[in-house]
Chains A and B, each alone.
Chain A
Amino acid sequence: MDSYDAPQLTPRQSASSRPENYFIGATPLQKRLESVRKQTPFVLTPPRRKIPQCSQLQEDVDPQKVAFLLHKQWTLYSLTPLYKFSYTHLKEYSRLLSAFIVSEKQKGLAVEVGEDFNIKILSKSQLPSENREGKVLWTGWFCCIFGDSLLETVSEDFTCLPLFLANGAESNTAIIGTWFQKTFDCYFSPLAINAFNLSWMAAMWTACKMDHYMATTEFLWSVPCSPQSLDISYAIHPEDAKALWDSVHKTPGEVTQEEVDLFMDCLYSHFHRHFKIHLSATRLVRVSTSVASAHTDGRIKILCHKYLIGVLAYLTELAIFQIE
């Protein structure tokens, strides 16, 4: 892109979307645009990724603290950077948000914003006599793990938390999301996971070393036919899946696109041999492993504490791709 630096002599005062006229060097917006132009629309994923490892970061995290993240179904959203968000004002946000929720719902609800920025809604008991803790109705949390590519192009006014996970009634998500959109001028979009990325998840999660397997590896394919769609479920003993993966896997510590394709092709051809159904012609909608399970409509359940960071890093990547 051409950039001209002649601020004083500009004949017209400004341009709506041409910040480079006024700033020497690349501004965040400009960097962002360059990345858009350079990126051909479909080259969305790197051809190789690391196999999730049990990282140092992971070990530092108190298992108690992350326990509430596990074994729960989370609905995924991508989120554009928050404008003028400040970590020092969490208490104030909590107050404003609960006021907003009250005005929206006219109900007795309490909002608790945790230190690490998750929100819980507690139902306040209408009965004054008891002093017990309210039941958690809704939980949501913001997350950004290894989102460096996005952070590079975000200026200091913005806070980048591209992944949002919610558990609870969608009406609550809607109210809270609306408040965030109004307050920080951000935008929530549901984060769907397409079959391509589900295959990646299947491969990466199968590749994880497990001490003991908690669940079978299961795939769900959907055949679009009317009036009702046909679902094909395909369960494999996790050790068999791992054995298959090991036979396909060549590069230590990494997963490549070829390996993912090969892994899925093996499953397809095995299935075809027995049932004469070409699964490759159907649509992969769900993948469950002992590490986590993910559904194409953007719901995820993380089962294994050890690989939490790895799973979230991949989801962050998907969220960043969606907002780029």
Chain B
Amino acid sequence: MASHRVGEADSGAPHHHHIPYAIPHMLHHPNNSTFINQEGSAFDFGELEEAIILQGVKINNDDKKQPLYTAIRPAATLDMFPSWPMRFQQHTPRGSSKSGEESTDSGSAVNTLSNTPESPSDHRQPPPPPPQMDAAGGIDSPRLSGSHSQPAAKPAPEKTLRRLAQNREAARKSRLRKKAYVQQLESSRIRLAQLEQDLQRARSQGLFLGGGGAASGSISSGGAIFDMEYSRWLDDDHRHMSELRTALQAHLSDGDLRVIVDGYIAHYDEVFRLKGAAAKSDVFHLITGMWTTPAERCFLWMGGFRPSDLIKMLIPQLDPLTEQQFMGICSLQHSSQQAEEALSQGLEQLQQSLVDTIANGSANDSMHHMAVALGKLANLEGFVRQADNLRQQTLHQLHRLLTIRQAARCFLVIGEYYGRLRALSSLWASRPRESMIADDNSCQTTTDLQMVQSSQNQFSNF
């Protein structure tokens, strides 16, 4: 059933009204399999009946059907399955040309309508013999009218059979994928509930109690709290950026613009304050970048962005600059590089010292060595704090060097840059990893459409 193509023709129109009833009726008809078994006229009858059914579930041509269909549209979780809207839109303009895709559509459409169509359809597959049934299902408009007028017409050529089989495969795989996705969503929901529970517990007990015992295992309470605050900060960031953008476009006075820019600086000061608190409770969470997206993590330096890289990125975007400004910014880049180098070397020494301590722990002295190692580890917090201090100072200095208008544009550029980096991470994560579908062109198109749809969703945020 899933593999059958849906024809465009309206020839089945008179049957539309009673199709919903026709489906269960026909499928529960005891003689159904007998019909399919037989050749000649009975066989064509089966073909005709299938055509009627498929006309019935076809959505595009029947206005009456549409509201019914959308009314029984599946629940919120399944709604997020990206291919759906595309498929709906796909349906209307295309004819039976993209037959494979449409049959997959109708396949999933039929599946999710209710359980009833699904079980009978499965139930129809085992009954003998599939080739004949495929032939019966090979419908499109010319064929339908063809079968009407020529009862003795030879049914589906092999190409169609193969295509139908592939479509069935595609539909099956599509269903499996959807199931996997839903399962993933469900487990994420459970994990989220657990995290929230841990957060509640952590809140009531105060911050991170060493050892991370009660925590969900992968993330400490301190880390979880920071992640939550950081995501709130990101939402705020988005808001600040829109404010900046509209302020720049509206050509506000310098005074007004200054208020907005000062607000944005305070917003950045806030994140450094949050990071400072997080460094106290879980420095590893910060320094390993588990709070950032993968693309940001790739460029991570000491728990955050590298200021000199940021300035390097900004210089061409800040044109036009006066000579003095340009010198100031280059000097800023230079001093930032020196400071970064110094901190990196300090951290390297810490790592070396830690390695020595751990490597030299003898059996009888291990506790002592562990205690010493713990003491050394505590210094990590200091380095992350200094690195964040460096970042904060760099942003403040930029603010000082630029005019208010330039500063507004500068911060907008910074915000957009990191926004794009985050979007890149999402796109990367949602890219189709392997083709679970056969090499059939039509099926591949479905995957591509899914990717395009999800990428469009990502970009719509920006």
A pairs with B: no
Binding site for A on B (CB under 8 A): none
Residues of A in contact with B (beta carbons under 8 Å apart) = none
